[in-house]
Amino acid sequence: MSWFESFILGLVQGLTEFLPVSSSAHLRLTAAFAGWQDPGPAFTAITQIGTETAVLIYFRTDIARIVSTWFRSLTDRSLRGDQDARMGWLVIVGSIPIGVLGIVLKHQIDTSFRDLRVIATTLVVMGVVLGIADRLAARDESGGRHRAAKERKSLHELSTKDGLIYGICQAMALIPGVSRSGATISGGLLMGYTREAAARYSFLLAIPAVLASGVFELKDAGGPGQAPMLETLFAAVIAFGVGYAVIAWFMAFISNKSFMPFVVYRIVLGIALFVLIAAGTLSPDAGGGL
């Protein structure tokens, strides 16, 4: 991997990590279309540490409050009903599915899940799911000719069951093309949460999973079949800077905008991949291996 490739892939990671379009799919597709070799799962996981650092800084006040209250609630019973203490436990509960499945499906994540036909399928399917979730949210928010607007749930109403469902949705993002934010936001919208609540919990829930994955993959970084360590770290730094700007934009965007542009983009990209593969222009394993 050259420094130029590292820069471009870091840029792609930062631009797509927080949007519901799948950063892992875009890293894979960028390599395939550019004629580069697949940077590998370790590269993806470590560059995600860069974007997740942007989350830690952007939500630093919320995170510090949640962590502090959660730790204090372990010895102070009066704090156990506090919203921040509950949020700490809900993030832990929601992180269980991706932790278990990440270990069980590691071989598939590193191999068969990176097939471009799989990515094309997940881009289209999850695009449709996001579109349905978005329309349901819009209907509740605006009401209609014969029905009143329906109030959607905030994070204060997040239950253990809903937190676990969020976690299952996040675990689906182990397959490139699904999108961590796309899956969790879709799940939140389908459960009746507001766009802002769904996105905020999605970002908070990703922190332990992404950091743990990145640390776990550090042992493979720079090894056989993986991108060089220095280039990987450089890409992570680029991803951090770009990712921070994208978070700020996205949180403002979702307050009053529809996800339909992302839905259309996902479906068009997925169909285009199917067409290119069927025509023989693009191999399902294009760019595979280092």
- Tell me the pLDDT of the chain averaged across its residues: 87
**Whether the predicted pLDDT of 131 surpasses 50:** yes
| Closest to 226 (Cα-Cα) out of 12, 41, 46 | 41
> Does position 220 have pLDDT exceeding 70, yes or no?
no
For range 85-98, the mean pLDDT = 92
- Mean pLDDT on 97-121: 84
194-220: average pLDDT: 83
Task: Name the phi and psi angles at 147, rounded to 5.
Answer: -150, 145
Q: What is the CA radius of gyration of the chain?
A: 19
Using CA atoms of 114, 48, 85, 92 in order, give the dihedral in degrees to the nearest 10: 30
What does the pLDDT average to over 103-118?
82
pLDDT at res. 189? 93
Query: What global pTM score does this model have?
Result: 0.84
SS3 category, 171: helix
For 43, 213, 270, 279, 289, the CA distances from 37, given in Å and listed in that order, are 12, 22, 21, 21, 6
| 121-140 mean pLDDT | 92
Is residue 173 within 8 A of residue 21, CB to CB? The reply is no
The mean pLDDT value for 261-280 works out to: 94
HSE of 125 in the Cβ direction (CA atoms, 13 Å)? 14
Average pLDDT rounded to a whole number, residues 239-261? 89
In this prediction, residue 65 carries a pLDDT of: 94
Give me the residue label for tokens 């395939």: 32
Q: Flag whether pLDDT at 290 surpasses 80.
A: no
pLDDT at 264 over 80: yes
Instruction: Kindly tell me if the per-residue pLDDT of 147 is higher than 80.
Output: no
Alpha-carbon distance of 162 to 265, in angstroms, equals 28
Q: Who has greater pLDDT, 65 or 28?
A: 65
Bigger pLDDT: 151 vs 213: 151
